[in-house]
Structure 1
């Protein structure tokens, strides 16, 4: 995995699907990213600590630092047709042995219910398994978020368990659902 991490530091990958380009997050995305994450419809499902949400520049620095450490790979999701940033899709908590990660995604509510989250997640899952050689990718979603559950199911992920809410989900009472996908299920 160390050789792959070095290549990622040298050149962050660009992934493409039919309607999307997934690329490195750029400073020009900071304001839209902040608006997306702080939108109440998104915020209730996003597991990001409130101290990171004080202003757009601080939030962007949080993501910039993740690129330096490569603990997480955050892909900016850009709509090809409009050429605009619409959300994130990430591989988070990359294990030191390169075998496991967690996928996460969020889109601006204006782009919900179009299959775009599924398309982005499938591209990132493929990258995780094919390029990074991960053996297993997990996901978590709120039991009160059936749209996110459908995304995970359409991507071939299987529900494994209920788990306690994650830190950073202020005021959330709903349980989280753990989904997993293994390389041999995906292909």
Structure 2
């Protein structure tokens, strides 16, 4: 099994492939998109990371799968989503282009990834990390049934969220 196509309504999570390079570069070059994640990277670094992400997404091991987040109506690429699973737990993350933020697409993608982790991969919990000042992601996690985990993070400016199966 490799990363599957996942869809809900007009939102589609399509396994990352070569046609998504421009989207990946655009996301990682945007200070607005990266402000809560990490520093903007140069094009060569982003291309190298993109190639690695595509290779891992084609792996049968869900340790690191990435999808292009797309809308089917209207047809448009909106961002990328990530799921890293280790058998008992999964971590999810997402980058959306600024014009797609705050429009419900993130909620749909988080629900789809969480359901996939629980129902297909059989993990016991799904987690996510965020920059402490990312209010949009915090609200999304709360709406999606995640609980804030009050334990020390490696980076003190990050928060951790967890949702248990059940």
TM-score over 0.5 (shorter chain) = yes
Runs of 4+ displaced beyond 4 Å:
47-51
- Give the count of matched residue pairs: 163
Contact between 2:34 and 2:40, CA under 8 Å: does it hold in 1? no
TM-score (normalizing by structure 2): 0.88
Contact between 1:34 and 1:59, CA under 8 Å: does it hold in 2? no
Q: Is structure 2 residue 63 aligned with structure 1 residue 63? A: no
- 1:22/1:48 Cα in 2 relative to 1: closer, same or farther (>3 Å)? farther
Taking the aligned partners of 1:35 and 1:137, their CA distance within structure 2 comes to 28
Q: Is structure 2 residue 141 aligned with structure 1 residue 141? A: no
Q: State the 1:175 CA deviation.
A: 1.3
Taking the aligned partners of 1:84 and 1:149, their CA distance within structure 2 comes to 25
Q: Is structure 2 residue 25 aligned with structure 1 residue 28? A: no
Question: What are the ranges of 5 or more consecutive residues in structure 2 without an aligned counterpart?
Answer: none
Question: What are the ranges of 5 or more consecutive residues in structure 1 without an aligned counterpart?
Answer: 1-6, 166-173
Taking the aligned partners of 1:77 and 1:119, their CA distance within structure 2 comes to 10
Q: State the 1:178 CA deviation.
A: 0.8
- 1:47/1:65 Cα in 2 relative to 1: closer, same or farther (>3 Å)? farther
Which residue of 104, 115, 118 corresponds with 1:126? Answer: 115
